[in-house]
């Protein structure tokens, strides 16, 4: 047990070193989903990983994709969180932080972000870690608040709203949340509930409440939750002295993005097709924003093209840190989708160093 602890400590130090090393503000990790109990493992695996590389076999050819970190199938939730932890420290230090889970439906985005009771994911672990960091802070002046919202077909839904009337799928369009940007470029979502979280157990209570609101309203809408984005925001405040008012120092966004699968493959029709289009539009808007932010001579950044990018505007650009976790399937039948996800992620990462990577 002590050896395991020592190895984790070493990994933590290494992750922190790497975070300090990054030149741009975006890091991209890739996680391969393991086979589940009922699933048959093939003798020849189409996807494999080695340190920072993902290798994909397709029709006798092999493609390599390089990332800041890769997580093979057997990776634990703990080993993923060790690599994410340093970015939480950055949030406490005043950077706006954005952690995004990207990938095809079923590849483990929710598992990574939320996890299970026995194997908690990034969000519950991050909540615990923030309170630990606050307790270590000499001045003990850090406080946190939480908001949760869902973006579905361009509509915003407040998951922590006090009234049940705006929690259902049907009433989403009636829920008026306005996205505003102030003179300093800070984003404000007018009307969005924000609850003060005083300790970890209360933070978990609110988080579970938001999750419940999200899942109960989707039960009749054929798994539509995979075609919506779920965003959890922690706002961090600091008070300078006993008599001073608290001031916001940063925001931490943890985002479980909608499934990135292409519409042709899913054979979608009707509402599913519209939902898929909305997701594809907002994900490509996200890709466009990241690309524009990384250009050497920065021009127009197209934030306004989707609600998702409007919301995240002040947490994607300068003075912020972005961590994208790309999720891929281990299955042969998903290889084309996997290559799309890997290409999307590689573009986001490669543009950082001004190396143009062609579209696949
Ligand atoms: P997504 O959010 O991308 O649609 P999920 O997180 O719902 O995918 O994952 C699909 C299924 O696979 C779930 O049953 C989940 O528990 C399981 N799963 C995903 N990733 C892992 C993992 N790393 N280890 C164990 N089970 C996983």
Task: Report the separation in Å between the CA atom of 229 and the middle of ligand 1, taken as the mean of its atom positions.
Answer: 16
Query: Using CA atoms, how far apart are residues 142 and 239, in angstroms rounded to an integer?
Result: 7
Lowest mean pLDDT among 41-50, 52-61, 159-168: 159-168
- Looking at residue 81, what is its pLDDT? 97
How sure is the predictor about 140, in pLDDT bands with cuts at 50, 70 and 90? low
Locate the domains of the chain by residue range.
Answer: 2-353
Residue 103 is predicted with a pLDDT of: 95
Among protein residues, the one with the nearest Cα to ligand 1's atom 5 is: 108
Sequence length of the chain is 360
User: Within 13 A of 20's CA, how many CA atoms are on the CB side?
Assistant: 7
Task: Indicate whether residue 105 lines ligand 1 (CB < 6 A).
Answer: yes
The pLDDT assigned to 295 comes to 73
Report whether residue 258 contacts ligand 1, using a CB cutoff of 6 Å: no
Helix (H), strand (E) at residue 47: strand 47-50
Residue whose CA lies nearest to ligand 1 atom number 12: 108
Cβ pair 189, 217 in contact under 8 A: no
Which of 281, 286, 306 lies closest to 347 in space, CA to CA?
Answer: 286
**What pLDDT does 357 receive?**
35
Tell me the CA–centroid distance for residue 327 and ligand 1, in Å. 10
Q: What is the pLDDT of residue 354?
A: 40
Ligand 1 atom nearest 77 alpha carbon = 23
**Of the candidate ranges 1-10, 42-51, 146-155, 245-254, the one whose mean pLDDT is the lowest:** 1-10
Checking if the pLDDT of 341 tops 70, the result is yes
The pLDDT score that the predictor gives to residue 119 is 97
Residue 360's pLDDT is: 32
pLDDT bracket for residue 10 (50, 70, 90):
confident
Mean pLDDT for the stretch of residues 194-205: 96
Residues 48-76 have pLDDT tens digits of: 888 889 999 888 888 999 999 999 999 99
Residue 241 has pLDDT above 60, yes or no: yes
What sign does the CA torsion over 299, 101, 98, 67 have?
Answer: negative
| Between 25 and 224, the higher pLDDT residue | 25
Is the CB of 103 within 6 Å of ligand 1?
Answer: yes
Alpha-carbon torsion angle 32, 344, 23, 83, nearest 10: -20
> Is 109's C-beta closer than 6 angstroms to any atom of ligand 1?
yes
Closest CA to 260 of 119, 107, 62, 67: 107
pLDDT given for residue 358 in this prediction: 37
Predicted local distance difference test score (pLDDT) of residue 355: 41
279-333 tens-digit pLDDT: 788 898 998 888 888 775 567 889 999 999 999 999 998 789 999 999 999 998 8
Local structure of 261: helix, strand or coil? coil
Residue 2: band (very low, low, confident or very high) from pLDDT cuts 50, 70, 90 = confident
Residues 6 or more apart whose Cβ sits within 8 Å of residue 265: 336, 337
Report whether 325 contacts 101 (CB < 8 A).
yes
Nearest alpha-carbon partner for 237 in 121, 144, 164: 144
DSSP 46: S
**166 has a pLDDT exceeding 80:** no
3-state class of 321 per DSSP? Answer: strand
- What homologous superfamily does CATH list for 2-353? Kinesin motor domain (3.40.850.10)
Closest ligand 1 atom, CA of 73?
A: 23
DSSP assignment, residue 344?
Answer: H
Mean pLDDT of 325-353: 84
353 — pLDDT class (breaks 50, 70, 90): very low
* Distance from the alpha carbon of residue 105 to the mean position of ligand 1, in angstroms: 9
The alpha carbon of 113 and the centre of ligand 1 are apart by a number of angstroms equal to 10
Is the CB of residue 330 below 6 angstroms from any atom belonging to ligand 1? Answer: no
> Would the pLDDT of 86 be above 70?
yes
Q: Is the CB of 206 under 6 A from ligand 1?
A: no
Which long-range contacts (C-beta less than 8 Å, at least 24 apart) are formed by 355-360? none
Query: Best mutation site among 29, 103, 109, 111 for ligand 1, i.e. most ligand atoms within 8 A of its Cβ?
Result: 111
C-alpha 80 – ligand 1 centre gap (Å): 14
Mean pLDDT rounded to a whole number for the chain: 84
Query: Ligand 1, atom 20: nearest CA belongs to which residue?
Result: 108
In short, whether 108's Cβ falls inside 6 Å of ligand 1 is: yes
Backbone φ and ψ of 56, nearest 5°? -120, 130
Q: What is the pLDDT of residue 201?
A: 96
Nearest CA to ligand 1 atom 10: 106
- Ligand 1 atom closest to the Cα of residue 105 is 4
The vertex-124 CA angle with 153 and 119, nearest 5°, equals 105
**Residue 277: what pLDDT?**
76
pLDDT band (50, 70, 90) for residue 165? very low
**Integer Rg of the chain from CA:** 20
pLDDT (0 to 100) of residue 183: 84
Question: Has the ipTM of the complex gone over 0.90?
Answer: yes
Q: Which of 32, 108, 260, 276 to mutate to test the pocket of ligand 1 (most atoms within 8 A of CB)?
A: 108
Highest mean pLDDT pick, 75-79, 141-145, 170-174, 318-322: 75-79
pLDDT in tens, 12-38: 767 666 655 544 688 999 999 998 877
Q: 3-state class of 95 per DSSP?
A: coil
Listed residue (132, 122, 148) closest to 92, CA to CA = 132
Angle at 25 between CA 177 and CA 255, to 5 degrees: 35
Closest C-alpha to 23, from 356, 359, 353: 353
Distance 232 CA to ligand 1 centre (A): 19
Closest approach atom of ligand 1 to CA 256: 2
- Per DSSP, 23 falls in state S
The beta strand positions in 123-198, using DSSP E, are 142-152, 155-158, 178-181, 187-190, 195-197
Q: How far is the CA of 144 from the centre of ligand 1 (A)?
A: 29
């Amino acid at each position: 047990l002590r050896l395991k602890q020592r190895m984790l400590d070493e990994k933590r130090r290494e992750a922190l070193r790497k975070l300090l090393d990054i030149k741009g503000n975006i890091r991209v990790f890739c996680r391969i989903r393991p086979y589940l109990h009922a699933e048959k493992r093939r003798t020849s695996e189409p996807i494999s990983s080695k340190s920072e590389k993902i290798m994909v076999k397709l029709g006798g050819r092999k493609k390599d994709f390089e990332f800041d970190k890769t997580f093979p199938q057997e990776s634990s939730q703990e080993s993923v969180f060790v690599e994410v932890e340093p970015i939480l420290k950055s949030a406490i230090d005043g950077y706006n932080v954005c952690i995004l889970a990207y990938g095809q439906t079923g590849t483990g985005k929710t598992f990574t972000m939320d996890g299970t009771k026995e194997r908690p994911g990034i969000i519950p672990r991050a909540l615990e870690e923030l309170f630990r960091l606050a307790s270590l802070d000499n001045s003990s002046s850090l406080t946190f608040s939480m908001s949760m919202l869902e973006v579905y077909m361009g509509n915003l839904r407040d998951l922590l709203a006090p009234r049940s009337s705006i929690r259902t799928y049907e009433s989403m369009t009636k829920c008026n949340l306005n996205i505003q940007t102030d003179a300093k470029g800070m984003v404000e979502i007018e009307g969005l509930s924000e609850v003060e979280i005083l300790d970890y157990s209360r933070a978990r209570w609110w988080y579970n409440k938001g999750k419940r609101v999200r899942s109960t309203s989707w039960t009749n809408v054929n798994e539509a939750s995979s075609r919506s984005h779920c965003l959890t925001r922690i706002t961090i405040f600091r008070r300078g002295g006993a008599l001073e008012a608290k001031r916001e120092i940063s925001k931490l966004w943890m985002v479980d993005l909608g499934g990135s699968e292409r519409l042709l493959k899913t054979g979608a029709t009707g509402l599913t097709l519209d939902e898929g289009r909305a997701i594809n539009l907002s994900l490509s808007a996200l890709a466009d924003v990241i690309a524009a932010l990384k250009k050497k001579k920065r021009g127009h950044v197209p934030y306004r093209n989707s609600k998702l990018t409007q919301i995240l505007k002040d947490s994607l650009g300068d003075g912020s840190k972005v961590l994208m976790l790309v999720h891929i399937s281990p299955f042969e039948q998903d290889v084309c989708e996997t290559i799309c996800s890997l290409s999307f992620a590689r573009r986001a990462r490669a543009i950082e160093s001004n190396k143009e990577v062609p579209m696949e």
